[in-house]
Structure 1
Amino acid sequence: MTTHQSQRLQALDGLRAVSIAFVFMSHIGFGHLFPGGLGVTIFFFISGFIISKLMLAEWDATGSVSIRNFYVRRIFRLTPALLVFVFISLVLMSVAGDGWKWEEVASVFFYFANYYGIYSSFSGDLIKQPLAITWSLAVEEHFYFIFPFLFMGFVSLPKKFLGLITTILLAMLAWRVYLVLAMGLDNLPHYRIYTATDTRADSILYGVALSLVFARYPELARQLSRWRVFFLGAFLLLLTLAIRNEEFRESLRYSLQGIALFCMFPTLVYSKNRMSSLLQLPLVVYVGRISYSLYLYHWLVTHSVAHFLPELATLPRIVLITLLSLLSAHLSYRYIEQTFQNLGRKLML
Structure 2
Amino acid sequence: MEKCVMDYKREVATDKIKKSRYMPGLDGIRAFAVFAVIAYHLGFGWASGGFLGVGVFFVLSGYLITDLLLMQWENTGQINLRNFWVRRAKRLLPGQLLVLLVVAIWITVFNFSELANLWGDWLASLFYVTNWWFIFNDVGYFSNFGEPSPLLHFWSLAVEEQFYLVWPFLLLLGLRFIHKRKLLIGFILICTLASTLGMAFLYQPGLMNTSRIYFGTDTRMFALLIGAILAFCLPSQMFAEKNTDNKALRISLDIIGATGLAILFWMIWQTNQYEAFLYCGGMVLQSIATASVILTAIHPSTWISRVLGCKLLRWFGVRSYGIYLWHYPILVLFFPLSEGGNSIVRTFIQIVMILLIASISWRFIEQPIRYGTDRSMWRKICRSNSTAGSTMKK
Matched, 1:134 2:154: yes
CA–CA distance in structure 2, aligned partners of residues 201 and 344 of structure 1: 35
Q: 1:42 to 1:335 in 2, by over 3 A?
A: same
Seen in structure 2, the aligned counterparts of structure 1 residues 129 and 320 have a Cα distance that, compared at 3 Å, is same
Task: Return the alpha-carbon distance in structure 1 between the equivalents of residues 327 and 64 of structure 2.
Answer: 24
Query: Match for 2:100 among 60, 79, 86?
Result: 86
Q: Is the 8 A contact 2:258 2:304 kept in 1?
A: no
TM-score calculated relative to the size of structure 1: 0.86
* CA displacement at 1:340 relative to structure 2: 1.7
Determine the C-alpha separation between the residues in 2 that align with 1:192 and 1:329: 30
Deviation of the 1:91 alpha carbon = 1.7
> Which residue of 2 is the match for residue 19 of structure 1?
33
Q: Measure how far apart 1:240 and its partner are.
A: 5.0
Do the aligned partners of residues 126 and 162 (structure 1) sit closer, same or farther apart at CA in structure 2, a change above 3 Å counting? closer
C-alpha distance in 1 between matches for 2:266 and 2:148: 32
Cα RMSD for the two superposed structures: 3.2
Shift of 1:284: 1.2
Larger radius of gyration between Structure 1 and Structure 2: 2
Equivalent residues of 1:200, 1:254 under 8 A apart: no
Asked whether the 8 Å contact 1:232–1:260 carries over to 2, the reply is yes
Q: Structure 1 295/85 Cα, relative in aligned 2: closer, same or farther at 3 Å?
A: same
Distance 1:304 1:251, change over 3 A: same
Matched, 1:99 2:120: no
- Give the 5 Å matches for 1:25-40: 25-33=39-47, 35-40=49-54
| Residues 23 and 300, structure 2, Cα contact 8 Å, conserved in 1 | no
Partner SS for 2:153: helix
Distance 1:276 1:4, change over 3 A: farther
User: 2 CA distance for matches of 1:146 and 1:12?
Assistant: 24
In structure 2, do the counterparts of structure 1 residues 345 and 246 end up closer, same or farther at CA, with 3 Å as the change threshold?
Answer: farther
Do the aligned partners of 1:45 and 1:203 also contact (CA within 8 Å) in 2?
Answer: yes
Task: Give the secondary structure class of the aligned counterpart of 1:260.
Answer: helix
- Cα shift readout 1:175-196 (whole Å, capped 9, x = no counterpart): 112112xxx2556844221221
Residues 293-308 of structure 1 aligned to structure 2 (within 5 Å): 293-307=322-336
CA deviation after TM superposition for structure 1 residue 232, in Å = 4.8
Q: Distance in 1 between matches of 2:237 and 2:99?
A: 41
Gaps of at least 5 residues in structure 2 are 1-15, 244-248, 379-394
CA contact (8 A) 1:22 1:34 kept: no
Corresponding position of 1:150: 170
Which aligned pairs between 1:106-255 and structure 2 lie closer than 5 A? Answer: 106-120=123-137, 128-155=148-175, 156-180=179-203, 184-185=204-205, 189-215=209-235, 226-234=253-261, 236-237=263-264, 240=267, 242=270, 246-255=275-284
Displacement after TM superposition at 1:227 (Å): 4.0
Total equivalences in the alignment? 341
Structure 1: distance between partners of 2:62 and 2:191: 14
- Deviation of the 1:33 alpha carbon: 2.6
Secondary structure of the residue aligned to 1:201 is: helix
Identity of aligned residues (%): 29
Q: Out of 9-18 and 276-285, give the one that drifted further.
A: 276-285
State whether structure 2 residue 276 is matched by structure 1 residue 275: no
- Report the counterpart of residue 72 of structure 1 in structure 2: 86
- Alpha-carbon deviations, 1:230-260, whole Å to 9, x = none? 3554565466554667222122112111222
Question: Aligned pair in 2 of structure 1 residues 188, 147: CA closer, same or farther (>3 Å)?
Answer: farther
Q: Structure 1 residues 125, 251: CA separation in 2 closer, same or farther (over 3 Å shift)?
A: closer
